[in-house]
Chain A
């Protein structure tokens, strides 16, 4: 069973479109995250979220918004896509904010903007 699953695996779309990436975890974790890995393979946190608190990295444009319908899901919605949004987006989860527990990652969604 896949612990953290993301869909779609690949997403090709045009500039200006709005798109969503879905993430689900079946680990019973209380905290979920979104990371962006750029073309140079540098991985940076975008959001962390549990049922109490959303922490946003201040460098993330407000075109990006996480939406959590329930504890097991954290979807990423992106408005007005730009060329610079092309990257691999990873969802992750952990229990208790990963102070003592490792984060578990999905396989990523490769977003390409035409």
Chain B
């Protein structure tokens, strides 16, 4: 059974700092690993999707990496801004059952101080 863990649960950094959010998963038989952002009172916004055959994906100031063998993914945010403040969730999509079912971590709540 897949379990996804995110560390830390909360993170506060000053504006401009580079930061890394961590995600680990127990079952390496994944289709993909996805990172989402959730703002208070809102749904999830997809940030990056890394397929199982890929090592990383980049979008603007965001870079996500995937190491299936060690069961880890990281989300790197460069030059953080107050607008980056949100909860960041990673989710694994596994083989077996419904291919699209995502198993989520509990998220990292990020606060970027001006």
Contact = CB atoms under 8 A, between A and B. Distances in A.
Nearest to A56: B98
Interface residues of A, number: 28
Given A41-B107, A105-B44, A100 B100 contact: no
Contacts of A104: 46
A103 B104 contact: no
Given A40-B106, A41-B107, A102-B49, A48 B43 contact: no
B43 A45 contact: no
Interface stretch (A11-19, A66-74, A75-83, A90-98): A90-98
B114 interface: no
Interface of B: 31-32, 34, 36, 41-46, 49, 51, 87, 89, 93, 97-104, 106-107
B49 A101 contact: yes
Interface string A11-50: 0000000000000000000010100000011111100100
Q: Is the interface of B mostly helix, strand, loop or mixed?
A: strand
A41 B106 contact: yes
A94 B49 CA distance: 13
Interface of A: 4, 31, 33, 40-45, 48, 53, 55, 57, 90, 92, 94, 97-108
Nearest to B49: A102
Contacts of B103: 45
A19 B36 CA distance: 29
B102 A45 contact: yes
A84 to B, nearest CB: 19
Contacts of A43: 44, 89, 104
Contact of A48 (B31, B45, B46, B100): B100
B89 A45 contact: no
